[in-house]
Structure 1
Amino acid sequence: MTWFVNYIVDDAISPADRGLAYGDGVFETIHATPVSLLQLDNHLARLYKGLNKLGMSLSPQRKQELEDFLLSDILPLVSVDSVVKIIVTRGEGGRGYLPPEEPSHTVCIGILPCPDYSLQQQQGVSLSISPVTVSSNRFLAGIKHLNRLENVLAKQHLSDSDFEAIMLDDKGDVIECIQSNIFWFKGGKIYTPSLEFSGVEGTYRKQIIEHFDGDVQLGSFKLNDVLSADEVFITNSLMKIVPVINIADTAFVYGSLTKALQHEIQKKEENAIR
């Protein structure tokens, strides 16, 4: 496990860093192979969107510095399937919650072992319903900010027999899973929550919405909408597409639509790497 802090090999930040004190920052986890950082453009776009929303945009020069470092310094270090994690905070400064007028960004980049989700991709997984609800806040919706306590609490409630848990908001709307986005097929169409007020707009979610050769319905949905689906699957940039075969004792098939989508997206990724 190797870490860089502000582009120098290091694994420590100041106790006064606002990312530590307030979760004042954003992060990305990128699947890396020896020849490519998969979906790098989408990850960076979400990173920059999050920084913009938090009022600490990177300058064009800082963006270029980050992108050059990832491709010129980080990618050559990747010898096997890995995870490249990027954390950008506002750095030090300000008084209490009031941030400094100009951020002094802290940029942390790590190369970590990549988990193997091949078994889950092939056999499917079980989900439960988390007792931990997701907060609604349109100012933070969509971005991958550093305030993830709801997910931490939900993970602690997850039983060993379940791979993931569906998280609802206070109105009972389905939002996402603890570390993945949720989709389902119904009548040949794909459905997924809009994430207008809550949740993380996953890069794999974006890829499916943009490239699925069919109808994708985004909106507000209840748990019964998911439980009445024909097929259900979850996604993130590391696990890709993982079929769901059980949700709180309701069984689902790992069906032909999910298998076809897995194959289609995999081909697109292989072509992109070439």
Structure 2
Amino acid sequence: MTWFVNYRLEESVSVADRGLAYGDGVFETIRAFPQYFLQIDDHLSRLYRGLYKLGMPFSSDQKKVLSDFLDKNVQSLIRNESVVKIIVTRGVGGRGYLAPEHCIHSIIIGILPAPAYQDHRTKGVSLSISPVPISSNRFLSGIKHLNRLENVMAKQFLKAADFEAIMLNDRQELVECIQSNLFWVVKGIFYTPSLQLSGVQGTYRKGIIENQESYTVQIGHYSLPDLMAADEVFITNSLMGVVPVIHIAGTSFPIGIHTRKLQITNFNAS
């Protein structure tokens, strides 16, 4: 693994950094290849949107510096499929929860080995239902902020036989999985939960919703019985792509033709 802190080779940050103290920041995990970053524009857009939402936006100059560093410095170090992780915090400062008026961001960039998901994409995976509810907060919904304790706790309850767990909100509505977005198909129509109040608006989810010429995608408030009546189910994130679901809490699902068709779609390999 290779790490940069504020664009210098480094593996440590200040113990007073607000990202450590309060989870005051955002992050992205990007699938990277020797010649390109997958969906880089969508990842950076979500990163900047998250920073703006938290009241610590990047300036145009800061955006250019980050983009240039990824293109000129990070890309040259990638020899095989990898994961590039970007963490941006508010840095050091402020008093308690009160943020400094003018923050100096901490910018952390890592190059990590890519996880192997080929078997999962080919054979499908099993899901359980997480006992950990996901909270609703319209101020934080959609972005990949650093406060991920719900996901950490849900992962601890995950059994070895299950690849992922479905997370519900306090109204027992479907939201997402621990580390992926959830889709299902009924009579050729795609369905996915609304993320207006909870969850992460995944870049791969965005690609599916915005780049469908053959399918209708319905976004709404759904419950577990809606999902269990599906013809086929799949999960997505930017690292695994499209992964079929073959079991949910003991109920079996086929790997459908729509899921297989979607697996060969290429979203913004720029």
What TM-score, normalized by structure 1, do the two folds share?
0.97
Cα distance in structure 1, aligned partners of 2:184 and 2:118 = 20
Q: Tell me, yes or no, if structure 1 residue 72 matches structure 2 residue 75.
A: no
Cα distance in structure 1, aligned partners of 2:248 and 2:128 = 6
Shift of 1:239: 0.3
Letter of the structure 1 residue corresponding to residue 121 of structure 2? Q
What residue number does 2:233 align with? Answer: 232
What residue number does 2:60 align with? Answer: 60
Cα distance in structure 2, aligned partners of 1:230 and 1:108 = 42
Render the CA deviation track for 1:99-131: whole Å, top value 9, x for unaligned.
000111000000000001000000000000000
Cα distance in structure 1, aligned partners of 2:102 and 2:145 = 19
- Matched length: 269
Superposition pairs of residues 168-187 of structure 1, within 5 angstroms? 168-187=168-187
Q: Secondary structure at the match of 1:94?
A: coil
Unaligned runs of 5+ in 1: none
Shift of 1:62: 0.6
Unaligned runs of 5+ in 2: none
What residue number does 2:142 align with? Answer: 142
Letter of the structure 2 residue corresponding to residue 53 of structure 1? K
Q: Secondary structure at the match of 1:31?
A: strand
Shift of 1:212: 1.8
Shift of 1:194: 1.3
Superposition pairs of residues 97-116 of structure 1, within 5 angstroms? 97-116=97-116
Letter of the structure 2 residue corresponding to residue 240 of structure 1? G
Q: Tell me, yes or no, if structure 1 residue 254 matches structure 2 residue 255.
A: yes
Cα distance in structure 2, aligned partners of 1:165 and 1:227 = 14
Cα distance in structure 1, aligned partners of 2:263 and 2:86 = 27
What residue number does 1:36 align with? Answer: 36
Cα distance in structure 2, aligned partners of 1:261 and 1:87 = 30
Deviant stretches of 4+, over 6 Å: none
Cα distance in structure 1, aligned partners of 2:86 and 2:202 = 15
Cα distance in structure 2, aligned partners of 1:260 and 1:241 = 10
Render the CA deviation track for 1:189-246: whole Å, top value 9, x for unaligned.
1000110000000000000001122210001000111100010000000000000000
What residue number does 2:21 align with? Answer: 21
Letter of the structure 2 residue corresponding to residue 12 of structure 1? S
Cα distance in structure 2, aligned partners of 1:52 and 1:219 = 26
Shift of 1:261: 1.2
Cα distance in structure 2, aligned partners of 1:50 and 1:13 = 21
Letter of the structure 1 residue corresponding to residue 222 of structure 2? F
Render the CA deviation track for 1:40-89: whole Å, top value 9, x for unaligned.
00000000000000000011101100000000000000000000000000
Letter of the structure 2 residue corresponding to residue 236 of structure 1? N
Q: Secondary structure at the match of 1:108?
A: strand
What residue number does 2:129 align with? Answer: 129
Cα distance in structure 1, aligned partners of 2:187 and 2:137 = 32
